[in-house]
């Protein structure tokens, strides 16, 4: 398999973070580097399962070419029968299909073909990204959402206010100094302010969840997601 690189993103969005496709476009240089696409699929009738992995491995140390290595493995299962598997040298269609926006856009069907060198097991599928665009909009909106900088802001403010204590090496800090810092935070209401703000943002998050994800059917998974906002601010640890 040749080295797959996502195509150039011709429509960058303000605030976008990270790579535009499944992988960064930079060359792999260390033998411990790994990039992979993992596939796990179940047929609509529940009778057939697929697990596959396409992996890019960094070049071996001392390799003058600095070429990445590639492995692909395919596992298939039919209800009532044992799993069957290829070796790690299975072939895969290029570019490999990915749900991460590139190389296929939303609503664009594309093939995923994986086959053992022996011919079987093998799959030949046409896939379409199933997540709704609304979910990706929520992820992109995260970088501009209010309140994300709350913890680092409190940490920096505490460091500035108690600079002398924080300037000490860790081994020189005592329990008494920790109590002094806690007393200062209690005196100025830092903990109460953070808790109140976290509760308010959690309520806003739940309201946003109900509004933006109302198209999702009610199921156990959705019930768990509904509790995440409150869990984050109320958990004991």
Query: Is 65 part of any domain?
Result: yes
* Same domain as 126, residue 207: no
Residue 13 resides in a domain: no
Is 11 a domain residue? no
> Is there a contact between 127 and 145 (Cβ–Cβ < 8 Å)?
no
Closest-CA residue to 145 (of 229, 27, 36): 229
Look up tokens 């190389």; give the residue: 103
Q: Same domain for 105 and 144?
A: no
Per-residue confidence (pLDDT) for residue 28, from 0 to 100: 77
Residue 135: closest CA among 15, 200, 207, 216: 216
Q: Which of 205, 197, 206 is nearest to 154 (CA)?
A: 197
On whether both 205 and 193 belong to a single domain, the answer is: yes
List 112's β-bridge partners, or say none.
125
Query: Mean pLDDT for each consecutive 10-residue tract of the chain (237 residues)?
Result: 46 49 71 86 90 88 78 93 92 83 69 91 86 57 62 66 74 82 79 82 85 84 79 64
| Residue 100: domain span | 34-130
* Closest C-alpha among 86, 101, 9 to residue 51: 86
pLDDT of residue 78: 93
DSSP assignment letter at 89 = B
Does residue 181 sit in the same domain as residue 212? yes
Domain shared by 126 and 145, yes or no: no
């Amino acid at each position: 398999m040749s080295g797959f690189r996502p195509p150039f993103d011709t429509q960058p969005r303000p605030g976008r973070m990270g790579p535009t496709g499944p992988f960064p476009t930079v060359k792999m240089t260390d033998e411990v580097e790994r990039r992979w696409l993992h596939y796990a699929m179940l047929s609509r009738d529940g009778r057939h399962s697929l697990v596959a992995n396409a992996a890019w491995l960094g070049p071996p140390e001392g390799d003058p070419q600095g070429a990445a290595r590639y492995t692909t493995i395919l596992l298939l299962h039919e209800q009532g029968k044992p799993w069957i598997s290829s070796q790690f040298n299975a072939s895969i269609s290029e570019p490999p299909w990915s749900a991460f926006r590139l190389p296929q856009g939303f609503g664009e069907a594309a093939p995923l073909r994986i086959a053992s060198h022996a011919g079987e097991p093998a799959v030949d599928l046409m896939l379409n990204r199933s997540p709704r665009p609304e979910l990706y909009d929520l992820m992109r909106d995260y970088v501009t959402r209010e309140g994300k900088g709350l913890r680092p802001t409190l940490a920096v403010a505490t460091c500035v206010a108690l600079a002398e204590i924080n300037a000490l090496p860790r081994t020189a800090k005592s329990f008494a100094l920790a109590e002094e810092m806690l007393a200062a935070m209690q005196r100025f209401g830092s903990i109460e302010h953070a808790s109140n703000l976290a509760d308010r943002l959690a309520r806003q998050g739940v309201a946003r969840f109900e509004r933006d994800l109302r198209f999702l059917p009610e199921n156990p998974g959705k019930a768990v997601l509904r509790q995440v906002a409150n869990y984050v601010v109320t958990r004991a640890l």
